[in-house]
A and B are shown apart, each in its own frame.
Chain A
């Protein structure tokens, strides 16, 4: 019995790619056992897969996902968290879709509207957010980081990141289908090294992706495979992969497609590449395949792009769907998010298959996925456990840290099953944009020369300080330096100087507001929610007392400062 990864063909199944067999006996047994647990419903759906036949609209997909998740919660005896309250949902969906918190007006409008809990109302909200320019900017930020992260030569990639960001933003604005976006990226013309006019483009360009891999075929192969297919072949660069069957030859055969990057001539036969250490050359081959086929007029990269984005490539849609899911849930259906290895199966195989299949069936429309994911009940659950009784008494930070990172395995089970939304730290971009939103700070216009040399705007400064992308958002913690920057840095000082901050001035000077109104507005601005009655009492008392300066305006500034520095502000909960 071959315990190979299931033949996951989307489409006519003509060219089916099977992953290499897992090698160890234990892994074979595990893979086989997992295979046996996939319910028949998933198999039935796969067999009727061709696009058009079983297309679900986003809300139907959401409903199906919820049914599958609820079944898994019942099986695992997990109680899902309660629904997030409307303010939590509003803030979360803003951060995830447009990358910034809502404005005071948006919060007031949403909370005042009695139908805030209504499904259709929330669908409309998401539609509105998807139409905003900030959606494209947000996704461009996310994908910019994905495409240049972990680069051996981060400095080189940094030179081209504004151009990459713009290139991505244009595509997300036009809602270019994801497969087209990947093809454009992989086949982008690359200037010869001596062609200095084209060397550092001013306009939008994805060259930073190539620069991040130093234009080296082996690094590009590893990146492309990991990012777009979720296949980690890079171990096989130097030796045969320790856990699966990727051989060193497989890796270099893939790298061969990235030889002669600057060439724009069609190839008839597979290009070859020399394998270091083995003193051989290998010819280009798609992973797991015998011979690549080249269509007339195709360059090597054209052919590779075609193969990667093919309907019949079982990894492409899955890897993409997993990433978008991860972006909204803080956790992929497969974790790590870019490791779709047979030895690393999805936590919810039926949901995983469904998501990938429908994404492909809808021609890789990213907005479709966003609509579906945000419409699930699971996405709208609170970040507070249903089992609040288990929360330990509030003690030292050391207790907090231990429970936060280790210990509470039941809480982990809830998150792993998407029965509770994990708390995620905002990215540097989200933090900056939310800070600007809350404080009505003016962002400086960036002249083109700064675009090329990077680095001088407040946003870049902020992003650099807070871009500890090393850890996933659910594990990221603020550092001491970041705390100091938030407390004492110039940005916060400007935002909370009561004679300089627009938000503060507006709140302090508005003639018809009493203290409670003023405090409430600051809460709405920073935390996107009204204060609790305890908070209102405490903060109103402080403001009326004038604080150390004996001045209500200064006291309001103090309140604003505290709100902007709070843990609640920097996390997406």
Chain B
């Protein structure tokens, strides 16, 4: 409540005035070369001394096939249809369907030796996204909530954790803050957004920009409600909630009050302008890809630029959102199509961050809940395979241009440097400057560390300068 009262009863008239201010300060430069226009903003964000670094999780729902993305086995009967291509780092080869990423390999570290035991979507999703096996009543928080708690600022105008277009049906608790509490819950955007927009300018607003559904709905009160009225109403609401909350600290009440406070903060700040993808040059939006995943990556960049410490973007399908990478049938068509969406979006994200001086302080994590079988099944598909799979780290805090671990020639097992999920998450924490062994109060009366104490961060992957 104290935090709430600090809010200025300013003359705030909606996001428009703030954005106008920005435009004016950039001396009216509109359009043209996008990197030039944004240079002033870039240096500002990059040198902001309060900046603590961010993490972007590219979540591949369904279990992406490592054999057809980052750990190909050409010449082996399990190899499949794709060819390998060279990357900008000699000796590292990846799928032919990720050509743009291949050129950025010096910023990328591939872990080919992930090895876990969970082959069920729900259990694996929860395990990989919380770092702990689902067990009994413990409400393990999703990794984004853990990072938001460590790196976020209490007074931030934007929520410290944003989840773009998630598909939560399989394991909803893997997208929830668990015992950390509702103020670390993600702001969820684009959950029902259409996936594939042609980007045609036929006048139909919905089809035009490929970002519909990535807006935050209801961000401003109806036009008839003045600012003064809005503020007076919120004051009355605050009074009611204070009385009701006394002696009632259960989550449905506390969570409601917290969410409202965060919502009011979002409404009143200019920070919500982050969601206006229209502000970006068309050429840049094209480069990301005029589809939901591409535009979501662009949104992720904008959020990170404004100091959001954790943003996750889900790629769960081409024409729908679900377990898109779960290619039990027609694996090669499926993976190719997904790769064709993934490649431009991810690569543009990295070059975009780099041109703004933000790549060094943004860690990108690419992963799904498990890998897929080396052996191809009767439906030209691959099935679940947690024994040997790949994840990828890119960007800040890590040394790119390397491969960690190795699988056998047929892809069936890890031969060198097995990495567990806690190892991976401990590595990510360390790269972000978070102590993975820090403890949080849990809902079962004993503290639980951010990452399982048995975890060993992958030292080779961490850059010297953290």
Contact A401 B182 (CB under 8 A): yes
* Residues 240-261 of B contacting A (Cβ, < 8 Å): 240-261
Contacts of A542 in B (CB 8 A): 232, 236
Interface centre among A391, A397, A534 (most CB of B within 10 A): A397
Contact A562 B236 (CB under 8 A): yes
Interface centre among B224, B240, B264 (most CB of A within 10 A): B240
User: Which one of A151, A406, A476, A568 contacts B442 once the chains associate, using CB atoms below 8 Å?
Assistant: A406
Is B441 an interface residue, CB under 8 A from the partner? yes
> Which residue of chain B has its CB nearest to the CB of A392?
B249
A selection of 14 A-B contacts at a CB cut-off of 8 Å is A152-B170, A394-B245, A394-B246, A405-B179, A470-B172, A475-B252, A476-B255, A477-B251, A481-B188, A483-B260, A539-B236, A558-B236, A559-B236, A565-B260
Contacts of A395 in B (CB 8 A): 1-2
Q: A338 vs B243: C-alpha distance in the bound complex, in angstroms?
A: 36
User: Which one of B175, B183, B443 contacts A397 once the chains associate, using CB atoms below 8 Å?
Assistant: B183
Binds A, one of B107-115, B211-219, B280-288, B363-371: B211-219
Is B397 an interface residue, CB under 8 A from the partner? no
The distance from the CB of B299 to the nearest CB of chain A, in whole angstroms, is 15
**Number of B positions contacting A (CB below 8 A):** 76
Contact B218 A484 (CB under 8 A): yes
User: Which one of B176, B233, B239, B251 contacts A470 once the chains associate, using CB atoms below 8 Å?
Assistant: B176
* Residues 311-352 of B contacting A (Cβ, < 8 Å): 320
Contact A568 B219 (CB under 8 A): no
Contacts of B320 in A (CB 8 A): 155
One digit per residue, 1 when the CB lies within 8 angstroms of any chain A CB and 0 when it does not, for chain B 227-240 equals 01101110011011
Contact A562 B233 (CB under 8 A): yes
User: Which one of A155, A404, A477, A567 contacts B185 once the chains associate, using CB atoms below 8 Å?
Assistant: A477
Contact A483 B249 (CB under 8 A): no
Contact A477 B263 (CB under 8 A): no
Contacts of A567 in B (CB 8 A): 240-241, 244-245, 252-253, 256-257
Is B181 an interface residue, CB under 8 A from the partner? yes
User: Which one of A404, A408, A561 contacts B255 once the chains associate, using CB atoms below 8 Å?
Assistant: A404
Is A488 an interface residue, CB under 8 A from the partner? yes
One digit per residue, 1 when the CB lies within 8 angstroms of any chain A CB and 0 when it does not, for chain B 110-151 equals 000000000110000000000000000001000000000000
> Which residue of chain A has its CB nearest to the CB of B4?
A397
Is A112 an interface residue, CB under 8 A from the partner? no
Contacts of B170 in A (CB 8 A): 152
Contacts of B245 in A (CB 8 A): 394, 400, 567
Contacts of B443 in A (CB 8 A): 405-406
Is B153 an interface residue, CB under 8 A from the partner? no
Interface centre among A154, A424, A487, A568 (most CB of B within 10 A): A487
User: Which one of A384, A424, A497 contacts B252 once the chains associate, using CB atoms below 8 Å?
Assistant: A424
One digit per residue, 1 when the CB lies within 8 angstroms of any chain B CB and 0 when it does not, for chain A 481-496 equals 1111101111001000
Known: A476-B252, A558-B229, A565-B237. A464 touches B179 (CB 8 A): no
Known: A476-B252, A542-B236. 15 other contacts (CB 8 A): A397-B1, A403-B254, A406-B445, A408-B249, A423-B248, A470-B172, A484-B216, A535-B243, A539-B236, A548-B231, A549-B226, A559-B236, A561-B237, A562-B237, A566-B240
Contact A480 B248 (CB under 8 A): no
Q: A394 vs B239: C-alpha distance in the bound complex, in angstroms?
A: 13
Contacts of A548 in B (CB 8 A): 226, 228-229, 231-232
Q: A89 vs B8: C-alpha distance in the bound complex, in angstroms?
A: 40
Contact A476 B248 (CB under 8 A): no
Is A374 an interface residue, CB under 8 A from the partner? no
Is B187 an interface residue, CB under 8 A from the partner? yes
The distance from the CB of A479 to the nearest CB of chain B, in whole angstroms, is 6
> Which residue of chain B has its CB nearest to the CB of A400?
B254
The distance from the CB of A252 to the nearest CB of chain B, in whole angstroms, is 17
